[in-house]
Amino acid sequence: MSVIEVKQLTKVFKIPKKEPGFGGAVRGLFHPQYENKTAVDGISFKLDRGEIVGYIGVNGAGKSTTIKMLTGVLMPTEGSIKVLGRNPHKQRVDNARDIGVVFGQRTQLWWDLALIESLNLIAKIYDVHPVKYRLMLNQFSKTLGLDELLKTPVRNMSLGQKMRSELAAALIHEPKVVYLDEPTIGLDLIVKERIRDFIKAECISKGMTVILTTHDLGDIEELCERVIIIDNGRIIYDGPIDTIKKRFGKFREITFETVEQVKTVHVPEGAELLSTDDRKVQIRFDRTVSTASKVAGAVMNQIEVRDFSLSEPDLADIVKQIYNGALDREGQ
C-alpha cells in the first residue's frame, strides 16, 4: 500500500484585490474582489514506504503549496490526498501525530526560549517516552552537534544552527512521513553536508517516507533516487534521478582567469570552448568523456592561468530545458 497517494490534486487561490487601510479591509469583507491563481494543477503521484523523493521546480512552481496540502493545513480545491490512509485536511490532528515538517523559511521553535525548552515541549506534545526522548537527544547531539545549542535562545542562533534545531524538532517523535521544504536554503557547504548526512542517518535508515524540496541539485543527488519536477503547477517529470543526471549532470563548466587576453585555446576531446572574453576562458566538458584535470592541464600548458573555478549546471536551467522538451529529444 502506498504511504502517500495524490490524485488530480489542484489548488486555486482566490487572491483578493486589496484596498489599503482598515476601511478598505471592511469594504473587502462585504464586496470582495478576487483574482484566481492556479498554484497546483491536477498532479498525481504515489509514494511507497521508505521512499525519498526530490520534489523540485523553480520558485513559484507550486512546491510549497503541494506540501501544505499534504500536511493538511491547506484544503485542496480539487482532487484527493491520502497520507497513511487518512485525509490530512479532515483528520488534521491525527495526521499531525505521524508527520514531521521542516519549512526552511520559518520556524516551529519558540523564538525567545532556549532550544531545550522547545524540544521538551514538543516531545511532550507528541508523547515521546522520556527514555526514548533522552536517547534521541543523545543521538541528535552526535549527528547534529546539538549540545552547544541546547541552552541558546533560538533568536540568537545562526541560520545553520537554526536549521539543525528545526530538524531535531521535526524528527524527535520519529514520524512515519517527513516533509522537508528547502531544508538547506542559505546554508554553507559544511552545514549542508551535515544535514544531508543527518537525513540519511535518521530518515532513510529508519524507513521514513520523505518528500524533499530544494533548489540544490547536490541534495537531490546525494539523497534521492526519484525526482518529481513541477513547473507551473504541473508535473513535467517523475522518474529516476539517473535519467536527469545522465542528461544534465554529466556536464561541468570550468572558467579560467588568464593573465593576458586570449583569443583561442585548443581543448581536449569531450570539451568545448564556450567563450573567451575579458581575460576569461569558459570551457564545458563532458564528465563521462574527459576529466577536470585533463581539461585544466591542457589549458594551463598553453596559457598562464591566474585562477580557475568549476561549476555545475543549475536547476533552473535544467527545469527550463526539460520544460522545453529536452528529455523527449534525448529519448529519441
Partner 1 sequence: MISAARRRLSVYAALFGMIPKMFMAYQIWFWVGLVLNIISMAILVFFWRAVYADTSTISGLGLNQTITYIMLAFIFMPLTSSDLVWQFGSDLREGMIIHQLLRPVNFQAMNYVQMLGGLISRLVWQLPMLFFAVLLFDLRLPTGFSTWLAFIVSALLGFTVMFYFNWFLACFTFYTTEIWGLGVLIEGMTFFLSGALVPLAMMPEWLRTAVLSVPFAQALAVPVGLLTGITPLSDAPRVWLVQILWIIGMWIASTLFFRVAVRKITVQGG
**Three cell numbers written together for 91:** 483528520
Residue placing its CB nearer to partner 1 in the complex, 181 or 219? 181
Distance in angstroms (rounded) separating the CA atoms of residues 37 and 12:
5
Place of cell 538547506: 184
Residue placing its CB nearer to partner 1 in the complex, 65 or 276? 65
Residue placing its CB nearer to partner 1 in the complex, 145 or 153? 153
Spatial neighbors of 329 by CB under 8 A, at least 6 apart, are: none
Task: List phi, psi (to 5°) of 81.
Answer: -130, 135
* Min separation Cβ 32 and partner 1, Å: 8
Spatial neighbors of 146 by CB under 8 A, at least 6 apart, are: 115, 137, 140, 164, 165, 168
Spatial neighbors of 145 by CB under 8 A, at least 6 apart, are: 164, 194
* Min separation Cβ 284 and partner 1, Å: 34
* Min separation Cβ 266 and partner 1, Å: 49
Distance in angstroms (rounded) separating the CA atoms of residues 62 and 58:
9
* Min separation Cβ 182 and partner 1, Å: 8
Residue placing its CB nearer to partner 1 in the complex, 47 or 99? 99
Spatial neighbors of 39 by CB under 8 A, at least 6 apart, are: 11, 12, 13, 62, 65, 233
* Min separation Cβ 330 and partner 1, Å: 33
Residue placing its CB nearer to partner 1 in the complex, 110 or 251? 110
Looking from the CA of 8 toward its CB, the CA atoms found within 13 Å total 3
* Min separation Cβ 90 and partner 1, Å: 11
Site of interaction with partner 1 (CB under 8 A): 13, 18, 21-22, 24-25, 28-29, 64, 68, 71-75, 92-94, 96-97, 99, 101, 103, 105-108, 110, 112-113, 117, 120-121, 124-127, 153, 181
What H or E segment, with its residue span, contains residue 276? Answer: strand 271-277
Residue placing its CB nearer to partner 1 in the complex, 114 or 296? 114
